[in-house]
Amino acid sequence: MLSAIPTLCPTSQKPTCVTALDVGTGTGLMAAVLAERGFIVNAIDTCENMLKAARRRRPNVAQFSCAPAHSSSMHPEAPFDLVCAAMLMHGLPRAYRRQSLIDMARAAKHAVMIVDYAPPCRLLTAAIERLEGSFYQDFLHEFPEDLSGCFADVSTFLLNRTCALYLGRFA
């Protein structure tokens, strides 16, 4: 899935975007992809156990720290050229998702990149996400409006049958 991410800053050239914040980093997979593309990466998550796993699995990829999604703009290194989140937004209730998106936009100089589920609703995914307590079905309906409320320009790139990359840019 991540290999299909559009090249925002090619590795063959000096990137014009150099700093990135990975929000809800989990095990640090997105942070690693960003670092491979030449970004200097900071990554945040609220779960210390996930941060420990990220530091263990992906040492020297990013500066990992404990912080909630809605505090991206308060990170000491903010603002970042790119702020991103992978497979995070569908797990947040709408009010907190919007709050987090707004704050991620404040923390970004150029763009916010989200990798998450894409419509249509998949029955098996819906069942699994319901068991996990996520907001998957609401997310599929509400997320386009959430994005358009935060960004002047939103592009969507389908990565596969279930996921998309959403790129929010400022005018």
CATH number for the domain spanning 67: value is 3.40.50.150
Amino acid 94 reads: R
pLDDT in tens, the chain (171 residues): 445 444 555 444 555 569 999 999 999 999 999 999 889 999 999 999 999 999 999 999 999 999 999 999 999 999 999 999 999 999 999 999 999 999 999 999 999 999 999 988 888 888 888 888 888 889 999 999 999 999 999 999 999 999 999 999 986
Cα–Cα distance measured from residue 99 to residue 66, given in angstroms and rounded to the nearest whole number: 18
Identify whether the C-beta of residue 88 lies closer than 8 Å to the C-beta of residue 24.
Answer: yes
CA proximity to 107, closest of 80, 129, 86, 125? 80
Looking at residue 123, its pLDDT comes to: 81
Query: Model pTM greater than 0.95?
Result: no
> CA of 5: how far to CAs of 95, 115, 159, 163, 166, in Å?
27, 9, 7, 11, 10
**Is 138 a member of any domain?**
yes
Tokens representing residue 17 in the block: 């975007």
**Is 24 a member of any domain?**
yes
**Is 125 a member of any domain?**
yes
Q: How many domains, the chain?
A: 1
Looking at residue 120, its pLDDT comes to: 85
End-to-end CA distance of the chain: 28
Looking at residue 14, its pLDDT comes to: 54
**Is 119 a member of any domain?**
yes
Identify whether the C-beta of residue 114 lies closer than 8 Å to the C-beta of residue 165.
Answer: yes
3-state helix, strand, coil in the chain (%, to 5): 40, 25, 35
Cα–Cα distance measured from residue 132 to residue 35, given in angstroms and rounded to the nearest whole number: 30
Q: What residue numbers bound the domain in which 146 lies?
A: 17-169
Cβ-in-10-Å burial (0-12, 13-18, 19+) of 24 comes to: buried
**Is 3 a member of any domain?**
no
